[in-house]
């Protein structure tokens, strides 16, 4: 059963298309990862699921409820933890959770039982009675997460909950997500951390520029590549002409496929080499015959970054750098117009 399904979902902010024909189906009781760089549309999608903004077009069904027609019914099902943390600095963590529980109309006995349970699960005993204004980033995130879980939501929506956190806080939050999933909670987790999605997600949608470019289980997505991932450089810093010549050589070797020229990494070449064939030695012979030396050559099992690379032509890290550059250009442009 799919507890969440979107059909041709679209959302624009003036000239920027945040979502463009966005289609996903989330099985009930799974942890579903949304993987993509900043600016890919992750937060926009999660805000639509949380009924905070309306889509321009398309449909969203949560537990067979039409989100556009019955947003209030949707809110009863979900817990939402936003990317930005907003806590009252004067209240202690316990006071904040107590206040939040009252907003959910949770009875007094259940309220105290639930708060104590979350304090233990998120390892907050030592500092829960300190004021929130004294908390570190990891402490604030744990309190924020606890607040989103007080009412026992069927669906938990998390927008990059571990960004910038210390290793201990990340591990605690990861363990809680695993425990919740085992209890039947459906979790939607957006992230640009490959290790986080690979470790936790049952299914993942890889998105770029507001579109879903691939989705499935992490293992299925990696297995679809059909071999080992190889990264090749003939020079530390090559050029377009050289990389295209090397690409032609690779394309003529049977068993090598999905060749991508990675410009941001010095015109390196990334490709998939079919297993069970002595392709690397053949590659070395062909390059030597064409008078190309090998500067570096690495071979490994495919990762989610390789799935992203083969789908878009650049790695997730490259996409992050590209989006950051675009944001800087927009900022400079606005400042120059003042």
- Cβ(34)–Cβ(188) below 8 Å: yes
- Decide the pairing of beta strands 31-35 and 155-159: unpaired
- Where residue 318 falls among pLDDT bands split at 50, 70, 90? confident
- Cβ(59)–Cβ(6) below 8 Å: yes
Task: Supply the mean pLDDT for the chain.
Answer: 90
Length of the chain: 338
Residue 297: both structure tokens together = 């050559």
Which pLDDT score, from 0 to 100, does residue 326 have? Answer: 54
In angstroms, rounded to a whole number, what is the distance separating the alpha carbons of residues 323 and 30?
30
Q: For the residues 286-294, what does the mean pLDDT come to?
A: 93
Q: What is the pTM of this model?
A: 0.83
In angstroms, rounded to a whole number, what is the distance separating the alpha carbons of residues 200 and 29?
13
Domains plus CATH for the chain? 2-217 (3.40.50.300), 226-301 (3.30.70.100)
In angstroms, rounded to a whole number, what is the distance separating the alpha carbons of residues 163 and 159?
9
Nearby residues of 150 by Cβ (< 8 Å), 6 or more positions away: 97, 100, 101, 104, 106, 111, 114, 115, 118
Which pLDDT score, from 0 to 100, does residue 332 have? Answer: 47
- Cβ(274)–Cβ(241) below 8 Å: no
Cα 111 → chain centroid: 32
In angstroms, rounded to a whole number, what is the distance separating the alpha carbons of residues 221 and 218?
5
Q: By mean pLDDT, which of 165-174, 218-227, 268-277, 319-328 is the weakest?
A: 319-328
In a 10 Å sphere around its CB, with 0-12 CB exposed, 13-18 middle and 19+ buried, how is residue 320 labelled?
middle
Bridge partners, 27 (sequence order): 2
- The three-state secondary structure class of 235 is coil
Which pLDDT score, from 0 to 100, does residue 49 have? Answer: 97
Residue 332: both structure tokens together = 């400079």
């Amino acid at each position: 059963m799919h507890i969440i399904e979107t059909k041709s979902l679209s959302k624009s902010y003036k000239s920027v298309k945040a979502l463009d024909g966005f289609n996903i189906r989330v099985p009930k009781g799974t942890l579903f990862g949304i993987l993509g760089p900043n600016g890919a549309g992750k937060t926009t999608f999660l805000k639509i699921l949380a009924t905070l903004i309306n889509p321009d077009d398309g449909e969203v069904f949560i537990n067979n409820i039409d989100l556009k027609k019955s947003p209030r019914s949707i809110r009863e099902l979900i817990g939402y933890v936003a990317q930005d943390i907003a806590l009252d600095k004067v209240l202690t963590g316990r006071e904040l959770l107590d206040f939040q529980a009252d907003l959910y109309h949770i009875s007094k006995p259940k309220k105290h039982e639930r708060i104590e349970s979350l304090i233990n699960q998120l390892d907050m005993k030592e500092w829960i009675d300190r004021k929130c204004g004294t908390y570190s980033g990891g402490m604030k995130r744990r309190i924020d997460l606890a607040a989103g879980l007080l009412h026992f939501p069927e669906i938990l929506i998390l927008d990059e909950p571990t960004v910038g956190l210390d290793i201990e806080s990340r591990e605690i939050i990861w363990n809680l997500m695993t425990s919740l999933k085992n209890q039947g909670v459906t979790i939607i987790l957006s992230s640009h951390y490959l290790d986080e999605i690979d470790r936790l997600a049952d299914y993942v949608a890889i998105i770029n520029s507001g579109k879903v470019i691939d989705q499935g289980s992490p293992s299925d997505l990696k297995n679809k590549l059909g071999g080992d991932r190889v990264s090749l450089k003939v020079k530390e810093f090559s050029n377009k002409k050289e990389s295209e010549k090397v690409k032609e050589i690779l394309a003529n070797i049977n068993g090598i496929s999905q060749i991508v020229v990675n410009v941001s990494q010095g015109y390196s070449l990334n490709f998939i080499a079919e297993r069970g064939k002595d392709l690397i030695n053949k590659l070395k012979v062909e390059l030597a015959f064409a008078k190309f030396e090998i500067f570096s050559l690495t071979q490994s099992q495919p990762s989610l970054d390789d799935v992203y690379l083969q789908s878009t032509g650049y790695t997730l890290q490259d996409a992050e750098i590209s989006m950051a550059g675009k944001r800087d250009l927009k900022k400079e442009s606005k400042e120059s117009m003042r």
